[in-house]
Chains A and B, each alone.
Chain A
C-alpha cells in the first residue's frame, strides 16, 4: 500500500513513504511544504492551478500519483525566480497586470513556462497553450499581453542568458 519515494523539487531532495494513491500535488504541498502550488478544483484536473513542471514538461500535479514521480525533478512556482530577480514571465505578469486575485497564477506561470521554451508569438497559439488553466477573475486579455512581452524579452536575450531561465 505504501512505497518510499524521492522527488527533487526546486533542487531540494525530498524522501518520504507515501500511499500508492497519494497525489503528487499533496506531496508537493504537504510533504515538501511548497504551498505556492494551488488546488482550485476537486482534483479533477479541471482548473490547472496545480500545474508544475516535471522533467521539463508542464503537468497537472493532481493528475499524477506521487509514486509515478519517484526519481523525477520538479520545478514549482517557488523555483521560478532567481533570488530577488523575477523570471521574465513573472515580471511581465506584474508589469501588465496579468492577475487579479492571483490564485490561478502559479498554474498559468508553470504552464506558460513550458510554452515559452519554444514559443509561437500569436494570440491563437498563446490562448491554445493556456486553455488548461482557468482564471475566474477573467484576466485572460492581460495574460496574453504579458506572455507576448515575455516572448519579446526572452527573444532579445543571448541563448545562454535565456537558458538560465529554463533550468528544467
Chain B
C-alpha cells in the first residue's frame, strides 16, 4: 500500500512559517508529526492530502515544561518521552501510563501525544487520561490562539488553519493520584476498552474528588459520573471498587464492532474500573508510606 501522490511537502523551521503554510493550504493539507496514524490511513486511502506540512523541525515544541501552575506538553513530545518523564510520572501518572500503553516501542518512539489526540479516534489511549486530568489543547493560527478541552475534540473541531501546539493541564495538587489501564486484542493494539481514573485524597486517605473516564466507546471517551460518585467522600475499600465497576458498566453505553461485542466491552469496564482504582490507591499508599 502506498499513499496517493503528495504534491507538496514542507518542513518549516519555525512556527510562524508552519502557521502561514497551514493557513494557505488549509483543508487540502495535513500536518504530520509522528505520522503513525496518518501514514497508515493515507496508505489505506482512507485519507489523501495533496500537501503535507512536517512539524518535526519546529523548535520549542519538544519539551514538557511547567508554566505558572500548568504542565505544558509540546506538539513534538513523543510517547516515549512522555512515558519516561519523571514529573509526569509523579503528578500525572495516568498520562504516563497511557503513553507507555500506546502502540509498540517503535510507534512510541515516533508517535506524539498531541498527534494521537488530534487523530480524534474513539479508541485512543491518550484521550481518557488527558480528559481525567482536565487537559486542554492549545490551537494556534496566524492571528490568534484558543484552548479547547480534550472532551470537546471531535472531527471538525480543529479548524484546518489551526496547529495544535501544546497539551496543557493544571498541575494536580498534592494528594492527587491517577492511573490508566487498557485491554487491547494484542499488547500493541488500540484499546477495546481503556479506563483512566483520578482521585484526590485528603490526609486521612478519604477521597475528596474522583474522575473516571472510559475510552474505546463511541463516539468518544465518556465520563463515568455515577461510578465516580460511588468512590467520592469515602475511604476506598475493595468492595467499593467493585461497586464502582458495576456502576460504570451500567451507565456507559457500549458498541459492537469488528474488535469486540458490546457485551464484552461492558464486561471489560466492570473489570477494569476496579483494577485502575486499585492502582490509584496503591500509588497513594506508596507515597503516604
Inside 8 A of B109's CB, which chain A residues have their CB?
A: 57-59, 114
A165 an interface residue at 8 Å Cβ cutoff? no
> Is the CB–CB distance between B6 and A131 below 8 Å?
no
A20 to B35, CA, bound (A): 14
CB atoms of B35 and A64 under 8 A apart = yes
Interface-located stretch among B36-44, B123-131, B205-213: B36-44
Report the 8 A-B pairs with minimum CB-CB distance, sorted nearest first.
A132-B104, A20-B6, A131-B187, A57-B109, A20-B9, A21-B3, A131-B188, A21-B6
Majority secondary structure of chain B interface residues (helix, strand, loop or mixed): loop
Interface residue? A95 (CB, 8 A) = no
Interchain CB contact under 8 A, B39 and A58? no
Smallest beta-carbon distance A141→chain B, Å: 16
Cβ of A19 under 8 Å from chain B: yes
Interface check A103, CB cutoff 8 A:
no
A133 to chain B minimum Cβ distance, whole angstroms, is 8
A130 touches B2 (CB 8 A): no
Chain A residues, Cβ within 8 Å of B44: 44
Question: Residues of B contacting A96 with CB < 8 Å?
Answer: none
Q: Are A111 and B9 in contact (CB under 8 A)?
A: no
A85-138 interface with B by 8 A CB criterion:
111, 114-115, 127-133
Chain A positions 69-83 with a Cβ under 8 Å from a chain B Cβ: 70
Partner of B2, one of A43, A111, A115: A43
Question: Given A1-B5, A64-B35, A132-B107, are A20 and B188 neighbors across the interface (CB < 8 Å)?
Answer: no
Inter-subunit contact A23/B2 (CB<8 Å): yes
A residues in contact with B2, CB < 8 Å? 21, 23, 43
- Write the chain A residue with the least CB distance to B189: A131
Q: Does A67 contact B (CB under 8 A)?
A: yes
Those of B1-21 within 8 Å (CB) of chain A: 1-9, 11
User: B3 and A59: CB pair below 8 A?
Assistant: no
